[in-house]
């Protein structure tokens, strides 16, 4: 990246010390000349699903440069984990690189937060195995092909933190749509969640004359198959009634057992990407929602959901150890600090804006958005920088996701600032890699996609038997 680029994409390096991991990857590849050694990373998750990433590096690395290479590989290992998910890590490569990483993924290691999160998610501790390259597992992922199913009587639901929405479709036509208020987070009894959702489904079923052929769902939180993993919706059960936590995690299994029809549920990020795929008739979509955090969903080039967790809020996008630190994970350079309200706040304060200490992030965003509507310089700098970050991330994400459409949405993209992010990212990607810019369309969903809604999109996922 050149800081002299007219679009200013290089200002991400110049202004904030941004260090592109892709730039480092490409440097190593170029110096390996196709004759180097391979560092291989693979994470295995539920059902024998595996995602593997290989990086070719030079056979001989200067000892002075080795810490930088090891740091890059460690960031890649973490990215793959938060992209695909996993309970077992396979590594292959020089001992100087892979052994410290193996030590980091322990209860008291450098990646203790990640270790604890995925221990909670899968109900088992992370395991690490160092193997010769020839014995490394290959990528294998479950695919649920989405064909925009509109046949039969269908119900779709979308579970949020303060309300949930249910829609009923008869041969593709919406005949019922309603938002139901609820307060799931503090609830200690898993029957609360089950009974609230069941009551909503019964109301939707009544609008279909009592005949339901399929149910599809969207929910906040991480998933292991159809089982809720770490999710704020059931946090109260875990904290106040841990003996019933597994019942709460199996909410959707209970619903599926009751209704006895084709049933699918995915995280809300994936269903958001699905809504874009349905309305715009595209595949290969990576959806990035910039809200209170960064939420991501993925539809592959076949038009299928893959079951990846895609929690890219915790996935590294910047190698700079002095970049913003995520308050929850206590790690630096991760997506939440670049594509969310947290990013807006961090940049606003860096550029001199001041907020009352008691002001919450959504209100701070509104202040910045109001300044942007007045074309104030500081606000413009914030949105330009997020656009530059996004240009770099678009290329970096392509290392791990086979996509051709990058859909951005969320509160941060509202108003004039969203247009600045979009146009800056497009120009920045063109400056970084013109060939890649030809392959990736960065866009915001149109009004039709917004109107579709996640509950309606979710209803179209299950295949009728």
The pLDDT of residue 76: 98
Lowest-pLDDT choice from 6-20, 98-112, 128-142, 317-331: 6-20
Q: Tell whether the model's pLDDT for residue 53 goes beyond 60.
A: yes
By CB neighbour count within 10 A (0-12 exposed, 13-18 middle, 19+ buried), where does 354 fall? Answer: exposed
Q: Rounded to whole angstroms, how far apart are CA atoms 465 and 449?
A: 28
Asked whether 234 and 251 are in contact (CB, 8 A), the reply is yes
Domains of the chain from N-terminus onward: 33-135 (no CATH), 152-212+214-261 (3.30.420.40), 274-452 (3.30.420.40)
Give tens-digit pLDDT for 223-280: 888 999 888 899 999 999 999 999 999 999 999 999 999 999 998 888 888 888 888 8
Q: Rounded to whole angstroms, how far apart are CA atoms 134 and 92?
A: 9
Percentage helix, strand, coil for the chain under 3-state DSSP, each rounded to 5: 45, 20, 35
Give tens-digit pLDDT for 264-314: 999 888 888 888 888 888 999 999 989 888 989 999 999 998 989 999 999
The pLDDT of residue 3: 38
Q: Tell whether the model's pLDDT for residue 345 goes beyond 50.
A: yes
Confidence of residue 9 (pLDDT cuts 50, 70, 90): low
Confidence of residue 447 (pLDDT cuts 50, 70, 90): low
Query: What tokens were used for 5?
Result: 């680029």
Alpha helix positions (H), 189-302: 190-207, 235-240, 245-249, 251-259, 268-280
The pLDDT of residue 281: 85
Q: What is the number of residues in the chain?
A: 465
Query: What tokens were used for 314?
Result: 């915790």
Element (H, E) at 14: helix 11-16
The pLDDT of residue 360: 92
Q: What average pLDDT does the structure give for the chain?
A: 92
The residue-averaged pLDDT of 134-162 equals: 90
Q: Tell whether the model's pLDDT for residue 370 goes beyond 90.
A: yes
Q: Tell whether the model's pLDDT for residue 215 goes beyond 80.
A: yes
Query: What tokens were used for 115?
Result: 């270790």
Q: Tell whether the model's pLDDT for residue 10 goes beyond 90.
A: no
Confidence of residue 12 (pLDDT cuts 50, 70, 90): low
Q: Rounded to whole angstroms, how far apart are CA atoms 253 and 173?
A: 27
Query: What tokens were used for 303?
Result: 């038009």
In sequence order, the β-bridge partners of residue 85 are none
SS (H, E, C) 324-388: CECCCCCCECEHHHCCCHHHHHHHHHHCCCCCCCCCCHHHHHHHHHHHHHCCCHHHHHHHHHHHH
The pLDDT of residue 4: 43
| Closest by CA position to 178, among listed 194, 146, 208, 200 | 200
Alpha helix positions (H), 151-250: 190-207, 235-240, 245-249
Asked whether 194 and 205 are in contact (CB, 8 A), the reply is no
Q: Tell whether the model's pLDDT for residue 22 goes beyond 70.
A: yes
Say which residue, 171 or 225, is predicted with more confidence: 171
Query: What tokens were used for 370?
Result: 């109001």
Q: Rounded to whole angstroms, how far apart are CA atoms 134 and 131?
A: 8
Give tens-digit pLDDT for 84-126: 999 999 999 999 999 999 999 999 999 999 999 999 899 899 9
The pLDDT of residue 15: 64
The residue-averaged pLDDT of 413-434 equals: 96
Percent of the chain with pLDDT over 70: 95
Predicted TM-score (pTM) of the model is 0.87
Confidence of residue 452 (pLDDT cuts 50, 70, 90): low
Give tens-digit pLDDT for 185-197: 999 999 999 999 9
């Amino acid at each position: 990246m050149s800081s002299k680029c007219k679009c200013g994409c290089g200002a991400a390096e110049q202004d904030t010390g941004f260090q592109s991991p892709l730039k480092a990857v490409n440097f190593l590849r170029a110096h390996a000349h196709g004759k180097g050694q391979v560092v291989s990373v693979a994470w295995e998750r539920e059902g024998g699903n595996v995602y593997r990433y290989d990086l070719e590096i030079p056979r001989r690395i200067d000892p002075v440069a080795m810490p930088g290479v090891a740091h890059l590989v460690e960031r890649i290992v973490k990215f793959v984990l938060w992209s695909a998910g996993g309970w077992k890590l396979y590594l292959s490569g020089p001992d100087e690189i892979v052994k410290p990483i193996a030590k980091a993924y322990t209860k008291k290691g450098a990646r203790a937060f990640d270790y604890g999160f995925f221990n909670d998610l899968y109900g088992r501790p992370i395991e690490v195995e160092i193997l010769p390259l020839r014995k490394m597992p290959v990528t294998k992922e479950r695919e649920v092909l989405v064909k925009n199913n509109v046949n039969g009587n269908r119900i779709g639901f979308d579970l949020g933190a303060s309300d949930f929405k249910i829609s009923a479709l008869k041969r593709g036509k919406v005949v019922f749509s309603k938002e139901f208020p609820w307060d799931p987070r503090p609830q200690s009894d898993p029957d609360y969640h089950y009974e609230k959702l069941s009551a909503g489904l019964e109301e939707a079923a009544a609008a279909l004359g009592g005949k339901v052929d399929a149910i599809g769902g969207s929910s906040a939180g991480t998933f292991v198959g159809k089982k809720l993993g770490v999710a704020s919706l059931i946090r109260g059960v875990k904290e106040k009634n841990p003996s019933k936590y597994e019942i709460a995690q199996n909410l959707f299994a209970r619903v599926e057992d009751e209704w006895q029809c084709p049933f699918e549920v995915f995280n809300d990020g994936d269903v958001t990407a699905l809504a874009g795929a349905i309305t715009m008739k595209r595949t290969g979509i990576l959806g990035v929602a910039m809200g209170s955090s960064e939420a991501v969903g993925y539809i592959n080039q076949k038009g299928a959901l893959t079951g990846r967790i895609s929690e890219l809020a915790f996935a590294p996008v910047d190698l700079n150890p002095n970049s913003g630190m995520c308050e929850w994970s206590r790690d630096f350079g991760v997506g939440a600090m670049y594509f969310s309200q947290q990013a807006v706040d961090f940049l606003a304060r860096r550029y001199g804006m001041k907020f009352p200490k008691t002001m919450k992030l959504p209100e701070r965003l509104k202040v910045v958005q109001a300044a942007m509507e007045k074309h104030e310089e500081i606000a413009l700098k914030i949105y330009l920088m997020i656009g530059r970050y996004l240009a770099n991330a678009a290329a970096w994400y392509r290392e791990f996701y086979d996509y051709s459409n990058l859909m951005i949405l969320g509160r941060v993209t509202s108003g004039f600032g969203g247009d600045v992010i979009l146009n800056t990212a497009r120009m920045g990607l063109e400056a970084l890699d013109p060939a890649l810019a030809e392959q990736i369309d960065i866009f915001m969903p149109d009004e039709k996609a917004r109107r579709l809604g996640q509950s309606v999109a979710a209803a179209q996922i299950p295949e009728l038997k």
